[in-house]
């Protein structure tokens, strides 16, 4: 008992100093990054291993100036305990006329393997704007939710996608230069012909920024709900996705 308590205290001390990636897909898993060491904790198993990280900033030379185009980070690690696992993450932030943010996480283990992929891509030039955001999970639990906002002159149209569902429509209300917030109305297919209402909005609370994206799809015989949220603070990020009773989340700090 004392030995387990000592291990727990050591882990809590590491959590306070180093990075943590907590995932819930088909069970709760913690990945704790301790310098070049990686710890994976799950129900009934504590695994130890190593991790390699590499960060790179891409600069473009324009005359005498150097302009930052993108930041990229890659992490690859493995752990061994009662079982084994491999973890790989890729983060890319690009800037300029087409700002984007991509995050890909791959976890491979004998008992459960999955991929978590998040993407945000924007383009704006004058009265033309494209704004795409998506969050997908592939593995024991497969689910996803995507949003597309397109502005052409004074017309604002777009799409929403859920599991096996796609809706096309328009935005009667939007806010922000790139349509980051807005109300969507559309029609499409989800277990038959369906209508959809969606809303995306941002709630700032102190140093914390919360983005909520909600969609309700209604057909003659069924209803579907999708909720996507992103909580961003200083050195903290929480992503959640709920679609028709299936829920996944990831936390990094």
Handedness of CA 215, 114, 77, 40 (dihedral sign): positive
Confidence bin at 127 (pLDDT 50/70/90): confident
Give 3-state DSSP helix, strand, coil % of the chain, rounded to 5.
5, 75, 20
Hey, which residues does 181 pair with through a beta bridge? Answer: 175
Tokens of 128: 């033309």
Residues 57 and 68: their CA atoms lie apart, in Å, by 7
The predicted model gives 159-168 an average pLDDT of: 92
Handedness of CA 78, 31, 95, 133 (dihedral sign): positive
| Distance from the first to the final alpha carbon of the chain | 29
What is the pLDDT, as a whole number, of residue 19? 66
Task: Pick 226 or 17 by higher pLDDT.
Answer: 226
Average pLDDT, the chain: 85
Phi-psi region of 184 (alpha: psi -120 to 50; beta: other; left: phi over 0): beta
Q: What's the chain look like in SS3?
A: CHHHHHHHHHHHHHHHHCEEEEEECCCEEEEEEECCEEEEEECCEEEEEEEEEEEEEEEEEECCEEEEEEEEEEEEEEEECCCEEEEEEEEEEECCCCCEEEEEEEEECCCCCEEEEEEEEEEEECCEEEEEEEEEEECCCCEEEEEEEEEECCEEEEEEEECCEEEEEEEEEEECCCCCEEEEEEEEECCCEEEEEEEEEEEEECCEEEEEEEEEEECCCCEEEEEEEEEEECCEEEEEEEECCEEEEEEEC
* Cβ atoms of residues 77 and 38 within 8 Å: yes
Among 31-35, 170-174, 213-217, 221-225, the least confident range: 31-35
Q: What's the full length of the chain, in residues?
A: 253
The predicted model gives 111-116 an average pLDDT of: 87
What is the pLDDT, as a whole number, of residue 205? 85
Residue 192 φ/ψ, nearest 5 degrees? 115, 175
Tokens of 58: 């891409």
- pLDDT(94) > 80: yes
Among 1-15, 23-37, 39-53, the least confident range: 1-15
């Amino acid at each position: 008992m004392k030995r387990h308590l000592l291990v727990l205290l050591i882990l809590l001390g590491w959590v306070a100093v180093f990075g943590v990636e907590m995932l819930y897909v088909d069970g709760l898993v913690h990945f704790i990054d301790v310098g070049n060491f990686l710890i994976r904790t799950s129900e009934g198993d504590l695994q130890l291993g190593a991790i390699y990280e590499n960060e790179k900033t891409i600069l473009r030379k324009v005359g005498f100036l150097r302009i930052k185009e993108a930041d990229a980070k890659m992490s690859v690690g493995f752990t061994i305990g009662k079982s084994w696992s491999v973890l790989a993450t890729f983060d890319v932030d690009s800037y300029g006329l087409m700002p984007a943010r991509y995050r890909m996480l791959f976890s491979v283990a004998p008992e459960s393997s999955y991929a978590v992929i998040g993407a945000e891509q924007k383009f704006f030039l004058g009265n033309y704007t494209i704004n795409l955001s998506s969050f997908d999970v592939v593995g024991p639990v497969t689910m996803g939710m995507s949003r597309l906002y397109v502005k052409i002159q004074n017309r604002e149209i777009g799409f929403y996608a859920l599991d096996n569902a796609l809706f096309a429509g328009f935005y009667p209300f939007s806010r922000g230069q790139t349509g980051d917030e807005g109300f969507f109305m559309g029609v499409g297919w989800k277990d038959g012909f369906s209508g959809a209402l969606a809303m995306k909005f941002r709630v700032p609370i102190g140093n914390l920024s919360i983005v909520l994206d909600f969609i309700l799809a209604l057909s003659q015989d069924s209803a579907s709900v999708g909720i996507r949220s992103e909580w961003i603070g200083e050195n903290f990020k929480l992503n959640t996705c709920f679609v028709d009773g299936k829920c996944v989340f990831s936390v990094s700090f």
